[in-house]
Each structure stands twice: as C-alpha cells, then as structure tokens.
Amino acid sequence: MARSTRTVLALNAQTILDFIEEIAVLKNLPRTGWRFQGIKDGESVADHCYRVSLLSMILADLLNTHGVRLDVEKVMRMALLHEVAEARIGDVPFPALEYISEDVKEHGEKVAVESMFGEFGTVGEKYIDIWEEFESNTSVEGQLVRAADKLELMIQAYEYEKIGYRSLDKFWTNNWNWQGIKQFAQIQEIMDLLLERRQEVLGTCAKRLES
C-alpha cells in the first residue's frame, strides 16, 4: 500500500529539537507489563531500548563472525527506532491484546510513526521504511532485532526474579516472548544459559524457604 504523500521538508534545528523533546517521554514511560505484575519502580521504555540497541549491536557482530550476512548499521537503526511509536501510543501490554486487536495496535503505531517523522523529509522516509521493515519481520536484520528485543525482555524478567519478584512465570511460558530466538543458534545458546541461571536463582530461593 502506498504511503500517504507528505510535504518534503529538509531537516532543520526546529524539527530535530521538537522530535528529541517529544521522544524524551520514553525516559519516564514505564514498561507497562511490569506494572501489571506489581513492579512499581520498573524500567522505562527508554531503558529497554538502550539495552536492546546494545544487545543488537553485539549479536550482529557475533552472527557476522558465524557467516550470517547482516547490515549492522541497519540493525542499529532498527533497534533505536523499534519502540519510537510508544512516545505517542504508550506501551500497550500483552494482556490488552485480548481486547484490542493486533491490527488496531499496528495501525495506530504506523500512523504515529509517519506523523512523528512527517517533517523530516527524505530522511524521515528512510526512518519510516526501517521501522516498517522491523515490523514486517521479513529481513534478517529485523529478525535479529526482534530476537534481541525478546532476549532483553527475558533478561529483565530474570533480573527482577533475582531481587525477589515471584509473579513472572507467565513471561517464561508465553510463546510470544520467544519470537525469533530459535532462528539463531548463537542467540538460543544465550537463552539456554539464561534459563540455567534462572533455575539456579529459583532453586536457591526454594532452599531458603525450606530452611
């Protein structure tokens, strides 16, 4: 489907500053899924995006050493842009999808991203295309960032469990949170190690309760 026509403008100081001011909301926007599980001071969306970006860079370099051909610059751009719509839409938690269809959520995010970059001219077109490529999950770069996104989520769940939270089992049993992991053997190896460490943490806690 052709994208709606937007005025072609050049990047300028006002456009950039307006965008950076708006995107700052992600620093204070909590990841809603953790709130649903009683974690009051959980990570922000910006916290999550930073570590997804760092993890995506490292995983891209790792996979390149194993013969997987990746455009690392595109990987980094996708990782930085993948949650940008939440500055306007908010963080819609997984349970809400029982009541709000995925199509509605995707449409809202698409409209938000196109609006946010509407005055960026051809640069904005590039950002939108990269965001849409991630959403479509059709390229190896998009699939890697999606796997990094889910891996970071599970690492965070493990870290909350390490400090005592015991309401997060559904994160580990929800197939949605395992998207793309098995596609890359090297990422699956990291997940397997994470699962081992989680079992050690849960086992230690169980022994403490028994003693």
User: What CATH number should be reported for the domain holding residue 112?
Assistant: 1.10.3210.10
Binning pLDDT at 50, 70 and 90, where does residue 4 land? very low
Residue 138 maps to a domain: yes
5: in domain: no
User: What DSSP element (H or E) covers 106?
Assistant: helix 102-116
pLDDT at 177 over 70: yes
CB atoms within 10 A of CB 205: 14
- The residue among 96, 95, 118, 93 whose CA lies nearest residue 32 is 93
Question: Rounded to an integer, what distance in angstroms lies between the CA atom of residue 26 and that of residue 104?
Answer: 21
What are the beta bridge partners of residue 30? 44
Give the domain range for residue 144: 13-210
Given a cut of 70, is residue 110 above it in pLDDT?
A: yes
Q: Taking 50 as the threshold, does the pLDDT of residue 111 lie above it?
A: yes
Q: What pLDDT score was predicted for residue 145? A: 98
Q: For residue 79, give Cα distances in angstroms to 55, 74, 98, 134, 209.
A: 9, 9, 26, 9, 40
Is 98 part of any domain? yes
At residue 64 the predicted structure's pLDDT band, cuts being 50, 70 and 90, is very high
User: Is it the case that residue 180 has pLDDT exceeding 70?
Assistant: yes
Question: Alpha-carbon distance 47 to 150, whole Å?
Answer: 14
User: Quick one: pLDDT at residue 206?
Assistant: 61
Q: 């839409």: which residue's tokens?
A: 89
User: Quick one: average pLDDT of 91-112?
Assistant: 93
Nearest to 60 by CA among 186, 182, 180: 186
Within 13 Å and on the Cβ side, how many CA atoms surround 168? 23
> Whole-structure pTM over 0.85, yes or no?
yes
How much is the pLDDT for 6?
47
Query: Residue 56's pLDDT is what?
Result: 98
pLDDT-derived band at 11 (thresholds 50, 70, 90) equals confident
Q: What is the pLDDT of residue 139?
A: 97
How many whole angstroms separate alpha carbon 186 and alpha carbon 96?
A: 32
Q: For residue 108, give the nearest of 121, 125, 122, 92 by alpha carbon.
A: 92
- Which pLDDT band holds residue 137 (cuts at 50, 70, 90)? very high
Q: What is the pLDDT of residue 203?
A: 87
154 in a domain, yes or no? Answer: yes
Residue 7 lies in a domain: no
Percentage of the chain beyond pLDDT 70 is 92
Query: Is the pLDDT confidence value at 124 over 70?
Result: yes
Tell me how crowded residue 56 is: count the other CB atoms within 10 A of its CB: 28
Q: Do the domain assignments include residue 62? A: yes
How much of the chain, in percent, has pLDDT values that exceed 90? 85
Whether residue 1 is predicted with pLDDT greater than 90 in this model: the reply is: no
**Number of domains observed in the structure of the chain:** 1
Does 181 map to a domain? Answer: yes
- Is 2 inside a domain boundary? no
- Gap between the Cα atoms of 80 and 87, Å rounded: 13
Helix (H, G, I), strand (E, B) or coil at 97: helix
Q: Of 198, 157, 138, which is closest to residue 48 (Cα–Cα)? A: 157
